Structure 1
Amino acid sequence: MFEDSDFNIFNVDSLESRMQLIKTVIDLKFELAAKAILPILNASGQTWYAHVAKHLRRTTNAPDNTWVAFSPNKRGYKMMPHFELGIWSDHVYIYLAVEENMKPKHTVEAVEKLLTAQTAVSELPSDFVISLDHMVNVSHQLSVTAYREAITRFSEIKHSEILIGMKLSRGDSRFESGKDLLAITEVIENLLPIYEIIK
């Protein structure tokens, strides 16, 4: 689904030019991905919606990444656990995300659920990663220790998030073979039991 040329979009300096390419190239691929992802999510009997990032507040700096989020709320996604498929200049990611917009109203409840999910998280594939901010291109190998530290940070620091899932680095053979969408849907299937715990 994604091609190597898609990553070059984030090398375009102009806000207007980069946004035009995001809208005409990346967003169309997000919409295609949604056609494969939504049936998987809807299989539980709950209706899910795709929310493609619009970057409406940007007036000077072009976005360094962009994404489509999936949530069971038609109006938005930031206020609840959700799935996020995104792209940076060097990788595509698919995460189960708990973001700072849930705080402080739901912090205590969210932390309790995140702790309950610890066993399920420990059983995820070894190539899964954890990120603490969807707007920063940094992630680490997922481990129980890293997960618990992220929960502690989430409970104590206002601007903190927990995102777990997988990265497909630029040059990954699955892009060339057309198996990137299959890999993405498999990650969602792996993460769904954890979503059921933390939702």
Structure 2
Amino acid sequence: MVFERQDFDVFNAKSLDERMAKIRTIIDPKFVELSDKLLAILNHNDQSWFAHVAKHLRRTTNAPDNTWVALAPNKRGYKMLPHYEIGLWEDHVYFYLAVEENMKPSQTADIVSRLRKASDLIAILPKQFVLSTDHMVNRNELLTPTNYDQAVTRFEQVKHSEVLIGIVIDKQKYQDDAYDDEQVILTAFEQLHDIYKVLAH
């Protein structure tokens, strides 16, 4: 198990400085640990992948409501590419294959075409997969073909919209010390990687 029940308590810290200190010392090392295992898989192919741990540098007063690490085949950044994201909210861990708004407008037509091309693979994902349209909002819905098609259309038409598909692990799961969140995330990664290949190539 990578994360633990008490990890979610970092969000109880009210001030920016206190919460960031807890994120840096408690959560970020776990992001690095899990990222290293995924990078070992991803770097077996021709691309070199890199982990980007969220720094929240633009924040000056409000403490972040979530935090994450992104994995992308670019050392300088990830938002302009399809990428993987592991994150933590106060009530769950998530693992997403993410297409974010930073790909627009220069890549809109191309990435929307690829998102639609991936529809058949999306349709056969297990029923526990979910869909989000904003990685900064704690909200997701079931990943159904209809919901996915609507999200892709919205991504094409609405500037501040995203398409993120993956899994969430409720913090209640972490009451069981034997729960293997690492294996759950690695399995989800394997199930999503063929979709990533459609989006990226």
TM-score range (shorter-chain normalised) is: over 0.9
Residue type of the alignment partner of 2:115? L
Q: CA deviation at 1:43?
A: 2.6
Percent identity reads 52
d(CA) in 2 for partners of 1:45 and 1:154?
A: 30
d(CA) in 2 for partners of 1:115 and 1:21?
A: 40
Match of 2:71 in 1: 70
Is this contact kept in 2: 1:2–1:175, CA < 8 A?
no
d(CA) in 2 for partners of 1:128 and 1:114?
A: 16
RMSD: 1.1
Match of 2:38 in 1: 37
Q: CA deviation at 1:130?
A: 0.1
For structure 2, which runs of at least 5 residues remain unmatched after alignment?
none
Match of 2:54 in 1: 53
Is this contact kept in 2: 1:3–1:175, CA < 8 A?
no
Q: CA deviation at 1:173?
A: 5.2
d(CA) in 2 for partners of 1:11 and 1:139?
A: 22
Match of 2:16 in 1: 15
Match of 2:106 in 1: 105
Match of 1:176 in 2: 177
Match of 2:142 in 1: 141
Taking structure 1 as the reference length, what is the TM-score of the superposition? 0.97
Is this contact kept in 2: 1:2–1:29, CA < 8 A?
yes
d(CA) in 2 for partners of 1:166 and 1:70?
A: 16
Answer with 39-48 or 85-94: which moved more.
39-48
d(CA) in 2 for partners of 1:83 and 1:68?
A: 8
d(CA) in 1 for partners of 2:176 and 2:107?
A: 38
Structure 1 segments of 4+ aligned residues over 2 angstroms from their partners: 173-176
Q: Secondary structure at the match of 2:56?
A: coil
Q: Secondary structure at the match of 1:185?
A: helix
The number of residues matched between the two structures is: 199
